[in-house]
């Protein structure tokens, strides 16, 4: 396992919808292992495949500070079964370091997909875990948490991001 480089805001793959996983081969297993290592090293609580430059439709998540292995989730080809409630909380993103905003998300979410062995998986998340599910699903659909903000907040944050990610590169 080796941490991979997390791609940052402005990288085209982050705005593209990821592709369904059709083959769970050794290469995909290595990607999953690397993603877990990368998420922990960052440190973060979730990581979508396109955040490490892979077009695969999968994410890893672990809502615990201790990296409890029993709480690690690998969700391949996730789809929303149901969601309800809502709550607002501050959110950040490993692909947009040092930027945080309050985002309204569903309080509870149930996802269906496959685990890393290809077995059917259905998992329910509440509060933080539900927020992680939604954040990572957004990534897999080519969205950022900032796309969930009001137009005014998005405009202000967009200018700050442009300055931080594009003007500093010139």
Residues labelled catalytic: 136
Q: How many contiguous H segments (helices) and E segments (strands) does the chain have?
A: 3, 7
Whole-angstrom Cα distance, residue 93 to residue 51? 10
| Residue given tokens 């997909």 in the structure block | 113
Pair 37, 5: CB distance under 8 Å? no
Structure tokens at 91: 């959110």
- The long-range contacts involving 64-73, CB below 8 angstroms and separated by at least 24 positions, are 67/40, 72/36, 73/123
Structure tokens at 48: 């979508």
Whole-angstrom Cα distance, residue 59 to residue 55? 11
Structure tokens at 92: 């950040």
């Amino acid at each position: 396992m080796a941490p991979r480089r997390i791609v940052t805001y402005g990288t085209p793959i982050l705005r593209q919808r990821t592709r369904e996983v059709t083959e769970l081969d050794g290469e995909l297993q290595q990607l999953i292992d690397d993603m877990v290592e990368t998420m922990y090293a960052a440190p973060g609580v979730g990581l979508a495949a396109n955040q490490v430059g892979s077009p695969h439709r999968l994410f890893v998540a672990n809502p615990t500070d201790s990296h409890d292995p029993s709480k690690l989730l690998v969700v391949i080809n996730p789809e929303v079964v149901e969601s309800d409630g809502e709550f607002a909380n501050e959110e950040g993103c490993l692909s947009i370091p040092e930027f945080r905003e309050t985002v309204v998300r569903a309080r509870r979410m149930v996802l269906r997909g496959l685990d890393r062995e290809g077995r059917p998986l259905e998992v329910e998340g509440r509060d933080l875990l539900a927020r992680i599910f939604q954040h990572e699903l957004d990534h897999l659909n080519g969205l950022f948490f900032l796309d969930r903000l009001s137009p005014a907040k998005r405009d202000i944050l967009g200018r700050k991001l442009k300055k931080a990610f594009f003007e500093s590169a010139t």
